[in-house]
Structure 1
Amino acid sequence: MLKRQIILDTETTGINPKEGHRIIEIGCVELINRRFTGHNFHVYINPEREIEAEAIAIHGITNERLQHEPTFRDIAQRFFDYIQGAELVIHNAAFDVGFIDHEFSLLKPTLPPVASHCAIVDTLKLARELHPGQKNNLDALCRRYDINNSHRTLHGALLDAEILADVYLLMTGGQGSLNLAAEEHIAQHDVVNTLTIARNGKLKVIKANVDELAAHEGRLDLVQKKGGSCLWRN
């Protein structure tokens, strides 16, 4: 059975939707059975209001940049259809879900709250459970899990979702695998049938190189740091 997860992030005009602040960017990365599919979702949105200077300092997005972008009502149904039924993976989920629910409530007709049609995983809560008493923002997690985020000079919804996807996979045991039939049909979310491959003769054995062995040892170190059992070292 396929498990569909959406790693999601937003950028906004300010920090509180109750004060009239709006979403200006949505970035989503799709995983199916813990594999990247490339079927992502990314939009910039005209908030129809001014963006606070403090917010611009964080994400660098100005009203001038957004003046010709669609409004939320223009993309709402497409976004809803994209996330519906998926498990959403979000860092500090209460913030992003609060904004999305606020945007849904402004529509006529409204759309239902996110939690009514999606499961939600908060990676900030997960990180605090795994690393109590430590910094657990996205930059700190990248340092902890040795993820290169040097290109992240400003916040951006799609970029942050891509980085969070890497962090989440490492925090929860690494990237999964799919059979070949699943990979062929994954973008369309078709029913996956097991593909049997007939092989003649001997299989070619390809041994890991030095860099691959080092990466493997690094992954085992992470497993042990999280209290896991490494069968390869028993």
Structure 2
Amino acid sequence: MKEVARSKVYYRPIEAAIRWAGLLRHQQEILFAMSSPRNLPRTLDYPRWGELLLCMDRIYDAVINRELPYGKNGVTLNDESLLDSTELTIRHIDLKRWVRTHYPELRPGFLFSRSERIVHPIITLEAGHAMLVEREALKAQLDQRRRQLLALQALYEGLLKQAEAIPACTNGPISDRAETTYLNIIGGMLTLMLGTSPSGKAYSSFRTQEAVVSALVAHHHSVMGITERTLNGKFASARRRLRSANT
């Protein structure tokens, strides 16, 4: 079987799409399955058939919208009568230039050398600005999460000190009065963390009880009682007790 050249001076659209999708070894079977230059079966038993269809659509879209020069037998003509012809061709250098401009993140091997594929695509000014904005937003979000973590740690340490100061916590079962006090404190803090100010601004970035539980477990999973099941149970009891006290 004659080996098919990976790169050529010019390509028919289907030849370029087959190489772009990495299906060159199946080129003869694919060409045989075509009923016309632009009519490919929508489904065929190849692992990247959907990618092949997408590559064909991209190429013809560029040709029809005059983004990609085309012609006949490697000679640029831009003759619209060629759009449905088997003789329509696209030069290698034009196809490479178009891919670099419109799909800089995609560098197929039949168009670009290994060294060209290793080099990072050109980042436009708009893309660079968007990346910087996103970076600053993520940095601000990280700072906010750190402050919230410090607040939760301070709350946790304060509760530990209160527990140590009450003899009932170490010498025997906790009294109903002490339990009510703790549940009211926990319920109040939880309601505050998940609530908003009169102007509608959230007091914290936590929106649900599950988010608070996840943060506590993530940072204090080794501490007795800091488990998802225990926290959800205590938080639910605390919120019920607080609602009952406020009615």
Q: Classify the TM-score, shorter chain.
A: under 0.3
* Bigger fraction of residues in helix: 2
Tell me the TM-score normalised to structure 1 length.
0.24
Which structure has more RCO (C-alpha within 8 Å, separation ≥ 6)? Answer: 1
* Bigger fraction of residues in strand: 1
Give the greater-gyration-radius structure (CA).
2
